[in-house]
A and B are shown apart, each in its own frame.
Chain A
């Protein structure tokens, strides 16, 4: 079947050079096929198409074309499969019938179309099956061109009924009226794409929240061909987001509340913060907190939110209202369960009925539970029915735990604070007591030494004045001055001791009419509070008395009371350098009448700060500088203690001072005890033994007593005294009395007294002591002593003691 190659590349039919050139250069492949299907001629383009050597194509058995219209052929080819469009024409070729086949290479076009087709197919497959997204394409005017399964499910339209319709039908009428759909198309067209979230409408009229991405599609030339529109139903996502948002908000609220709670320490303000914040921010229409009252087993409304006070009043739910637990079915709540009543109108208990009548329909009661005990209930209500979500309830449950904890902490804090305050007060009292004791001891020690030192001065002075009849008037005057001075010193030393010593048992307390005493003191001190201020500075002090009539008399020492009141008046006057009002008030202790009688000294003066008030009764503490001894209030304090009374100071700087003395009144007003003054008979000629370790004092004493013609033997030291007493007893010349010092080295006055009494029980022993009467107060009267005399001893006292004892 091979055809000689010589026929190939035959000269052009017309021998026309131009035609040959045309054929040679034609872009399409041209071949001439004989009736047997053998190629008789091929141009270069055809050779290229078949990818054979130039000589090989002619003679190839290709086949006879049998087509009516241009037909696509595939030329399988080692390098690249060619697609050609075949057009066949019957011709005469070298004198016989033949076929001219024109082969146009359409490979590139074909491949491009294929690719496009494939990608379109892929796109179709991808989108059509997608159910979760509505993927549609729109023409440039927004009319639906394609419609996938997702679009059908999401929007409810069948493909057939929606194609060609405007996308306006997916929007709410008001959005269409506002031009939203066309605005989105414009935006996508100009920016390439746009995204939008909002409500969209389904075919059945229901709506959903959609996220829409609209993308403009353009052809190769950049002309707008339409839009791709992807729509997602994000209703669920929005719901989740909302839920998360709500949760976050509640967390913030919880945080806010717990922070505020942390800033407050007292329960009431903690509760106020909580109900206030709930009302504002949760929000609720009313919030209140009830605490459980164990005595009545009821809930007491403790705190109502600020804005709701009026509503609470209308509901009879104001603070302090009692709510029955059992009567309202609240037992569950009191066992720690959160109670949610979505519709109070359906409930038959009184409290829900009352709330419902007041327009509140949903109620949540969250127990405040701390350490397994329900302290109370946090309650919130809203007007709407079923207005609390489970998240709200959960939030309230959490909050109630915080509240309960805060309440518990606050209680503990209050208890702790109380304990601290008590401890501080006790400590202060103990410290004051200790300080006073130490100062008292010091004062007593000083007093002791001064008294000892004064003794000879006093005795000699007294003795000389009495015995030396030939003294010049001048000497007598000097001696009298000395005597006065000694008495002053003794008096001062005595006052110094006053605040510390107790009451001597041998001094009898007598009924005192306190009103009478006040009036006496007023008279005695008038110059100090009336005349002096007026004269020195033109200052007026108004004296005001407010004396309760028929006060019971109190048991006391009038002189001490008088001194004390005098001191208080002086202090009050000093506190009012600019003048003011001084009030003396007496009254019964309290309405119930606990039997106490109160004496108040009230001034309108400068007042005291805390520090001054704490220290004012301490000895030597003074605010008066050089003018004050610091002993006035100390003495008053001593008096108060000896009378078993109480003293209180109410004062603040600039607000005056009230000193309040409270005396216990006797059960029955005792009859006034009258004491007869004894006629003093001066004893003389007694045999007296003096025992002391201080020769100066001993000589003074001896000389003083000698004026009364006593036989006096003095011994230095206790042991010598006892020996002398025993010796005298042995000689049959017993002493009729022994006067001994208390404090002596080696053997003190107590031992001396004991030894004397052992030898001769009837011999009186008089003890001299620089400690004065203090030792008696301490229950310190030695057993064998008949009389204690304070130093410096007075001749008068010694005489009286001897007269009474011998």
Chain B
């Protein structure tokens, strides 16, 4: 995935726990949305809690898949497979950001 580089305006993290169907859908969906709305302005990190369970603590993850908008502040969270694009766009406040 794209590295966590400081020059990007958008830093997103997708928390998953194993490659479940929902996790796969979530990844596909966020990639499509980002590609459409954020182009090169974002970085997306996928964190598999099965591999790195400690990450759940830092971002206070209570369910997966959870997409976390780390930047721009404030921190926002979206849960589910992100199939409801509108809610994702609203939740990430992408429109306001552009």
Contact = CB atoms under 8 A, between A and B. Distances in A.
Given A37-B77, A73-B79, A76-B17, A65 B87 contact: yes
Contacts of A36: 76
B12 interface: no
B83 A67 contact: yes
Interface string A80-91: 010010101000
Contact of A73 (B22, B49, B87): B22
A75 interface: yes
A37 B76 contact: yes
Contacts of B60: 60-61
A8 B11 CA distance: 32
A63 B83 contact: no
Given A61-B60, A62-B62, A81-B17, A71 B77 contact: no
Nearest to B25: A71
A39 to B, nearest CB: 9
A71 B22 contact: yes
Given A71-B22, A72-B22, A66 B78 contact: yes
Residue of A37, A61, A67, A84 with most partner-chain B CB within 10 A: A67
A66 B83 contact: yes
A570 B65 CA distance: 142
Contacts of A50: 62
B81 A71 contact: yes
Contacts of A67: 80-84
B66 A63 contact: yes
B20 to A, nearest CB: 7
Contacts of B85: 66
A64 interface: yes
B46 interface: no
A611 interface: no
Contacts of B75: 1, 61
A52 to B, nearest CB: 9
Nearest to A50: B62
B58 interface: no
Interface in B16-68: 17-18, 20-22, 49, 53, 56, 60-68
B30 to A, nearest CB: 10
B83 A64 contact: no
Contacts of A84: 63
Interface string A38-71: 0000000000001000000000111111111101
A66 B17 contact: no
Interface footprint category on A: 20 to 34
Contacts of A63: 63, 66-68, 76-79, 91
Interface footprint category on B: 20 to 34
A67 B22 CA distance: 10
A88 B80 contact: yes
A61 B65 contact: no
Residue of A37, A64, A75 with most partner-chain B CB within 10 A: A64
A74 interface: yes
A66 B87 contact: yes
Contacts of B88: 66
A74 B62 CA distance: 9
A37 B91 contact: yes
Contact of A62 (B20, B79, B83): B79
A84 B17 CA distance: 13
B63 A74 contact: yes
A65 B79 contact: yes
Contacts of A60: 60, 62
Given A60-B62, A63-B79, A66-B79, A76 B56 contact: yes
Contacts of A69: 83
Which 9 pairs from chain A and chain B are nearest by CB?
A: A63-B77, A67-B80, A66-B87, A63-B79, A68-B83, A66-B84, A64-B91, A37-B77, A74-B17
15 contacts: A61-B75, A61-B77, A63-B67, A63-B78, A64-B76, A64-B87, A66-B67, A66-B82, A67-B80, A67-B81, A71-B80, A74-B64, A75-B63, A76-B53, A86-B80
